[in-house]
Chain A
Amino acid sequence: MAGNRVAVVGVGQTRYAAVRDDVSLPGLLREAVFRALADAHMTMDDIDAIVVGKAPDFFEGMMMPESYLAEALGAVGKPLFRVHTAGSVGGSTALVAATHVQSGVHDRVLTIGWQQQSVSEAMWALSFPIPFQQQLVAGAGGYFAPFIREYIRRSDAPDHIGILVALKDRLNALKNPYAHLHEPDITFESIEESFMLWEPIRYSETCPGSDGAIALVLASEGAAEASAASSGVPPAWIHGTAMRSEPATASGRDQVNPVAGIECAADVYAQAGITDPRRQVDVVEMYVPFSWYEPMWLENLGFAPEGEGWKLTADGATEMTGDLPVNCSGGVLSTNPIGASGMIRFGEAALQVRGQAGDHQVDGARVAVGHAYGGAAQFYAMWVVGADKP
């Protein structure tokens, strides 16, 4: 990986819920920020720069919220940068924050992703008629369902794979106190019997709409070691970072297995020295808002040959007890504040290699992948974090 070493030394998350009307927007962000600072044994004064990201302004009806939030985020007199790459924004934002340190310009950078889905309806914000653009009028699930059907046709995957993913992620969420959905009574049958929203996606195979925020503190090598010495918690060293995007309407584009995702994964593995991801990666947090995207991304990210990702799910390899645990936190299927969801994947990957994931910790995790996608499956962001220095 190019540039100076950088590590995650603080992770802070809000309680996620369908509605967080007990706090203002700045109050919500500060809930995550101060938990991240406490984790890093730092105060706001220690922070050199702030990088924030969220999904489209239209989701909350607030233009350039970073300006309004500057004072609450302790950004007075400091660089404040905003990132926007649709659903992948949480991941992209963390990567931009990392470059602030890799470049050698800053030592301690605070990065925040958030969403208040309760203040509007993101589903229909995605369907707004914009002149000269295709009108979706379908919501995200309706948009992605045909590509999932095509995946099933190509791979000959059995019908129940999506149910297995949803059941695993919702059961994992029971081990994560921050997760939005805690459904202790969920079963294979209850998912199977839930309403078919966009065939083959059932209601219980769909992400919720959540309010919440996550903050990370990224630090240079010296600052990371000082933080770890103070907090007693090891840093998560960043071994690779990559972003790729492709146009939504490019002709010949394969939306089942997008080239941008394949190249993003190849780039980040090359930086991290990973040649056999299935064997070398201990735990994965990938962006799975609809159940079937687990097998689809397992293939897109090189964890399984094309057409065989569903077999990892079917065999239990992606369960917490499997050899490639995926979304031990419960994933996007259990918590989805869109602008935060990518950074939650990145932050959960960091928690795993720091040994801080609590009841959903994978024992001995040393290398973890965080993954986010956004837009019409066209924006990708990934990082690899490790317990060892790169």
Chain B
Amino acid sequence: MNVATESSGGGEGLLEAPLIIEYAFNRTTGPVIGAFVTGLRERRVLGIRSADGRVVCPPVEYDPQTGAPLEEMVEVGTAGTVTSWSWVSQVRDGQPLQTPHALALIQLDGADTSMLHVIDADGPEAVSTGARVRIRWAEEPTGAITDIACFELDGGAS
């Protein structure tokens, strides 16, 4: 178990230190997911070409049909199209955005598959299947999927 402490200035000369006890898991990313999250840190999105020629994004290490190792990383766009979505009207702690938002499948330009992410939109009437969205990057990328803070609608969304 990890115990994280962070010292902070206490009021009236007292020392205070928050104590956060958590049960942490690590992940070994391997060569493909490792390249994907490293790309996000550089604000680039990488997919991978599968045996049948499709670009899978987020990339997978082994071919979805044959199980063969895949190697050809393909950079895809930072904008894409909504292929399906659901509106989250009641936000709870721990969700990606703390305002009402859409969970959506988004097919980035140049990819043949969709990825699950979040759209920051004013309301459900603003979102539609087929809508164009683009990445809003996190201010300080760390090499994680959360480097994509969320997606936002292009001005011309239907």
Contact indicator A27/B61 (Cβ below 8 Å): yes
Q: Quick check: B25 and A21 within 8 Å, CB to CB?
A: no
A135 at the interface (CB under 8 A from B): no
Chain A, 15-38, CB within 8 A of any chain B CB:
20-28, 30
Contact call A20/B28, Cβ cutoff below 8 A: yes
A118 to B60, CA, bound (A): 22
Stretch at the interface among B62-70, B90-98, B105-113: B62-70
Q: Given the complex of chains A and B, what is the CA–CA distance between A80 and B66 in angstroms?
A: 16
B64–A71 touching, CB < 8 Å:
yes
Across the interface, do B25 and A124 meet the contact criterion of CB distance under 8 Å? no
CB closest chain-A residue, reference B64 = A71
Is the C-beta of A136 less than 8 angstroms from some C-beta in chain B? no
Residues of B within 8 A of A61 (CB): 25
Report which of B26, B31, B33, B66 forms a contact with A120, defined as CB distance below 8 A.
B26
Question: CB distance B67 to A23 under 8 Å?
Answer: no
Residue B11 CB within 8 A of the other chain: no
**Contact between B62 and A71, CB atoms less than 8 A apart:** yes
B23–A124 CB distance below 8 A = yes
Distance (Å) between the CB of A79 and the closest chain B CB?
A: 15
Q: Are A44 and B25 in contact (CB under 8 A)?
A: no
Chain B residues, Cβ within 8 Å of A323: none
Bound CA span A125–B25, Å: 11
- B3 → chain A closest CB, angstroms: 12
Verify A121–B29 contact, CB threshold 8 A.
no
Q: Which residues of B contact A227 (CB under 8 A)?
A: none
* Known contacts A24-B33, A121-B1; A71 and B67 CB within 8 A of each other: yes
B60 and A71 contact, CB distance less than 8 A: yes
B56 nearest CB across to chain A (Å): 11
State A118–B61 Cα separation when bound (angstroms).
21
Interface residues of A in 39-86 (CB under 8 A from B): 44, 60-61, 71-74, 76
Cβ A73 vs Cβ B28 within 8 A: no
Q: Which residues of A contact B29 (CB under 8 A)?
A: 24
Q: How far is the CB of B8 from chain A (nearest CB, A)?
A: 27
Asked whether A118 lies within 8 Å of B26 as measured between CB atoms, the reply is yes
A128, closest chain B residue (CB): B23
CB distance from A30 to the nearest CB of B (A): 8
Q: B1 contacts A73, CB within 8 Å?
A: no
Q: Quick check: A74 and B28 within 8 Å, CB to CB?
A: no
Q: How far is the CA of A124 from the CA of B60 in the complex (A)?
A: 32
Whether A120 touches B23, Cβ cut-off 8 Å, given contacts A21-B28, A25-B28, A27-B30, is: yes
Given A44-B67, A71-B62, A121-B1, verify A24-B23 contact (CB < 8 Å): no
Whether B28 pairs with A23 at a CB distance below 8 angstroms is yes
Q: How far, in whole Å, are A184 and B27 apart by their CA atoms in the complex?
A: 31
Q: Which residues of A contact B (CB under 8 A)?
A: 20-28, 30, 44, 60-61, 71-74, 76, 116, 118-121, 124-125, 128
